[in-house]
Amino acid sequence: MATKQSTNPQEAPIVFQRFRTELQGLAQKIGELESELEEHALVLSTVRPLVSSEPERVCYRMIGGTLVKRTVKDVVPNLETTHTGIKDVLDSLIKSYKDKEMEFEQWRREAGVQMPR
């Protein structure tokens, strides 16, 4: 990629913009997943106490655009699994963002590109 070979002055703005676009896309996805993770955490903190006190209590869950009637004891394990999955994906995206940022900084130093202010 761009870090393996020198970048000529005509290619530098294109490579620079590509890096920034990729970083912005990752940051946007990270923001979306953080928001979704917070929503799941809020629902779990509300529903978890009901597992012991009212396990048969009816609750509704949105699955693929359809509202489905379930019980608290059925929903909580699924929510916990989903919460864990979102957290894992989020951690992976954060790592990808940091790696891409380091690659960008390395390319920027090697190509002698100054950051616009």
CATH number for the domain including 63? 1.10.287.370
What are the pLDDT digits (tens) for 4-25?
456 777 888 899 899 999 999 9
Instruction: Note the pLDDT tens digit of each residue in 59-116.
Output: 998 889 999 999 999 999 999 999 999 999 999 999 999 999 999 999 988 888 777 7
Query: Closest Cα to residue 83, out of 44, 52, 29?
Result: 44
In this prediction, residue 32 carries a pLDDT of: 98
Q: Is 7 contained in some domain?
A: no
Distance between CA atoms of residues 81 and 55, nearest Å = 18
- What pTM, to 2 d.p., does this model score? 0.83
Distances (CA, A) of 8 to 5, 12, 21, 54: 9, 6, 20, 67
- Find residue 69's DSSP bridge partners: 60
Domain range spanning residue 72? 12-110
The domain tally of the chain equals: 1
Contact 3, 11 (CB under 8 A): no
Residue 2 domain-assigned (yes or no): no
Q: Which of left, alpha, beta for 62 (phi over 0: left; psi -120 to 50: alpha)?
A: beta
Instruction: Render pLDDT for 28-46 as a digit per residue (tens, 0 to 9).
Output: 999 999 999 999 999 999 9
Which amino acid makes up residue 98? K
- What span, in angstroms and rounded, lies between the C-alpha atoms of 111 and 8? 8
